[in-house]
Chains A and B, each alone.
Chain A
Amino acid sequence: MPAVQDTIDRVRKIDVDQYKYGFQTEIAMDKAPKGLSEDIIRFISAKKDEPSWMLEWRLEAYRRWVTLDEPKWARVHYPKIDFQDLYYYAAPKSTPGPTSLSDVDPELLRVYEKLGIPLREQEILAGVQKTDASELEEASDNVYKSGRVAVDAVFDSVSVVTTFKKELAQAGVIFCSISEAIREHPDLVKKYLGSVVPTSDNFYATLNSAVFTDGSFVFVPKGVRCPMELSTYFRMNEKNTGQFERTLIIAEEGAYVSYLEGCTAPQRDENQLHAAVVELIALDDAEIKYSTVQNWYPGDAEGKGGIYNFVTKRGDCRGHRSKISWTQVETGSAITWKYPSCILRGDDSSGEFYSIAVSNGYQQVDSGTKMIHLGKNTSSRIISKGIAAGFSQNTYRGQVSAHRKATNARNFTNCDSLLIGDQCGAHTVPYMEAKNATAQFEHEATTSKISEDQKFYVMQRGIPEEEAIALIVNGFVKDVIQQLPMEFAVEAQKLIGISLEGSVG
């Protein structure tokens, strides 16, 4: 233990205040009054020009929500949230923002630069108003050498811009904000919205169903392989707002799509609420790959402020031989309550969950997955790596179940935890439920610190301690990083570095 003392000391010294994305973007906002009521829901629905069925759907969810209690089973502690003290709608005003990057705070640009965000994308993120979206597309085209990414940027309650729409449309792919989808593609939305996460699912999903303001909609038609990576960038900007986005991704027969999600929020003393719902639907032979790099503001060194992240993500492998893969890198948020799941309904379908959860400061993470085996010959794989430092609590909570008719269900679960410092906690709570004799479930979990042997081995070869630890931590999370698309893998590695600053050089 004493040998890593140095590291531990450094970790303790980590100033979580150095949250690099703690800027707030001063954009004039259009807000609904505080609080939640049927009137607010009507207001949101009207703002979005929604058809009446959508409003009814929201109201039904709201009426159910008022009868529900907050779930208490997760290993997270926080003061009671006053749901009436939040703004449920905040949108950037349509008054012109800065017209070029030179009008934007240079401090902000430096931060973007650190993050490695391409210039044109920076403009989007900084709220620079462009009249011509194609101009953006051309520009970003040059920036991404490794492959192009279409971006949907969501600021607080609304989607501000979506790029590459035209090119995607040529391939038949629909990629737009969910509000637009409700207006333009009501049949698709009606058919699939709430079919994976019903409005009655859980407290936060029900709340989201009532008040969701925006999010992304992706539809990949039969046989189409989406020509580029799709990505959404979420940013919570306004004070006291809750962000409730809703994402719906549908891959028809034989389609393939890879979707990336990234999030940041400004640094604020009070806690902000984020309750998203993501629904994935994969039909026969379709494959959806969903990657997240979550870096909401984690709160300061005393645990003040930070985002409460209560997210319901679920994929439905509805068709035979379909596949859904979740990859997540969780470094932010004061509280993370998130269990991306797969319902393996189709025969021979498979689900994957790769996760890295890094917690430091006073962060509390309770995350994991659910693999629900319903079809025949279904398989799932769970790889979870938790790294706890500082005063944080890091919990893996996962469920694997095989139902009566799920013959030959296979699961392999591996969750490893690494502890840095003796003030943090790492917990593993796997649930395994087998109701079919042909099921084959394997689960293994380990918890340890970086072993002296490993460190000695590396240091003996002339590598300094800090680098040695970095190397070992990188090795520890390698299985998951490999699953991320290239652009994200780099960002994820940087983020883990920032989160554990001091211990991983």
Chain B
Amino acid sequence: MNIHTTPQRTPAETALIDAFSDRLSLLPGDGTVMLKRDDAIEAIKSGLPTRRIESWHYTDLRRLLTSVPDFDTAAAPKAIAPVVEGSAVLPVLNGVSSAKMPEIEGIAVQRLSEKLTDGSIAPGLDLYGADDAIGALNMAFVADGYFVDIADGTELDKPIELQNLQAGGQTHVRLSVRVGVGAKAVIVERQAGEGAALVSSVSQLLLDEGAEVMWLIVQEQPDTATHLAQFKAHLGKNAKLTLFVMNAGGKLVRQEIVVRTTGEGADFTLRGINLLAGDTHTDVTMVLDHAVPHTASTEVIRNVVTGRARGVFQGRINVHQYAQKTNAKMACNTLLLSDDGEFSTKPELEIFADDVVCGHGATVTEIDHSHLFYLMARGIDEKAARGLLVKAFVAEVIEELDDEAIVEALETRLDGWFAAHG
């Protein structure tokens, strides 16, 4: 079990290291950025994480990442319509941002390649821990993305949609958003494409005092793509973040969510849906730090597992010693619909303060037979009855979002998945 081994580099590790030396001259960045890239590739050289690394226990990246495609600069993904009609779209096509910026009052958008070249993004590139393999991969290769600044007091009436579209090869993208004091926004992060790509995408969100944001991650990669993503947020005083994550695609997916409450009164809500089918592996890992007193969080994750899919949810809530009066609740419910599917969950609580109310619940089960009987007794055939129950199980989470246009748009995505995966 603990026998010493001298790890040999896997083909994927070798491919990444070679790709780095090939791409190095093309990567934007000043001295600080380039030094960080060097550190990052060193981390990759020491090996991709295995199940021996606790945070990667259920996703042995070293074993699962079997091949790494070459960069394909010629590939051009097709443009897609935004999830919510009328959204301002900021597309990143095959890893390259658009030079054409939308003109919206109170919003300043910059291409991330510029921020890398002048080094002004450098402080934000830091990894959040020794096991941050996605951060390292992204830091080594990131070439573009967007930096969006929403000015103090701005209230957007239409969502902003950040699209990261791939057409095969490798894309490494970073989306950075700052929301000013008291500003309000809805931001959609769209992850899709059509190739067997390796995608690394890191989103960073900074909420100033009293800012309110609903951030929706809609991930619909094809079942040939490897999608390694990270969402990092800092919540200032009285800031409110509702994060919705929908994973409905990808061959190997890891979505990390790293949230830290840094101001009193901050409130974090996470709602997640993982729709898993085929022979795929999807991992959602959340690390939530309650670092100051009087902050609250609730997380609800619903998973549907079909086919030979493997699902993982890891959720760690850290309550720091100083963070008294924290209120944190987490639930992870899974419907396991096939005998070949599997789901592993690890909801963790790490609590160093005493005056807190924290709890978590997790369930794994199949469809309740009494519910099925209830519907079938009313003349609904079994297949339709099952469909209804499964849809109701996940739709419940969407309906909570309290924004009609968004709920409708997401339910359309949901219906699309059910139509494709029955």
Contact = CB atoms under 8 A, between A and B. Distances in A.
Contact of B341 (A425, A427, A428, A437): A437
Contacts of A70: 2
A445 B1 contact: no
Interface in A70-99: 70-71, 73
Nearest to A450: B354
B126 interface: no
Interface string B319-350: 00100100000000010111101111111111
A424 B354 CA distance: 8
Interface string A5-18: 00000000000000
B351 A426 contact: yes
B355 A449 contact: yes
Contacts of A129: none
Nearest to A399: B346
Interface stretch (B30-38, B177-185, B195-203, B361-369): B361-369
Contacts of B57: 431
A419 B323 CA distance: 14
A427 B324 CA distance: 16
A441 B334 CA distance: 10
Q: A interface, how many residues as a size bin?
A: 35 or more
Contact of B321 (A73, A423, A439): A423
A434 B334 contact: yes
B420 interface: no
B347 A437 contact: no
Given A422-B324, A437-B338, A437-B341, A68 B2 contact: yes
A427 B354 contact: no
Interface in A401-459: 404, 417, 419-449
Contacts of A441: 362-365
A202 interface: yes
B4 interface: yes
- Interface residues of B toward A: which range? 35 or more
A131 interface: no
Contact of B324 (A1, A68, A437, A445): A1
A448 B364 contact: no
Contact of A447 (B341, B345, B347, B351): B351
Interface string B82-104: 00000000000000000000000
Contacts, number: 129
B355 A427 contact: no
B288 to A, nearest CB: 14
B350 A425 contact: yes
Interface in B155-193: none
A67 interface: yes
B359 interface: yes
Contact of B4 (A69, A423, A431, A437): A69
Interface in A1-42: 1
Given A200-B1, A434-B334, A426 B349 contact: yes
B354 A68 contact: no
A63 B349 CA distance: 39
A449 B358 CA distance: 10
B3 A434 contact: no
Interface string B1-42: 111100000000000000000000000000000000000000
B61 interface: no
Contacts of B360: 428, 443-445
A155 interface: no
Nearest to A393: B352
B324 A419 contact: no
B399 to A, nearest CB: 24
A203 B334 CA distance: 35
Interface in A189-212: 200-203
Given A423-B321, A430-B346, A436-B339, A443 B363 contact: yes
Contacts of A203: 1-2
Contacts of A73: 54
Given A202-B1, A419-B351, A431-B346, 12 more contacts: A69-B2, A69-B4, A424-B352, A424-B354, A427-B349, A429-B346, A430-B347, A434-B344, A435-B342, A439-B365, A443-B347, A445-B349
A-B complex: 3 closest residue pairs judged by Cβ atoms:
A419-B354, A435-B342, A446-B359
19 contacts: A202-B1, A417-B349, A419-B354, A422-B324, A425-B350, A425-B351, A427-B350, A429-B346, A430-B347, A430-B348, A436-B336, A437-B338, A439-B364, A439-B365, A442-B361, A444-B359, A445-B361, A447-B349, A447-B356
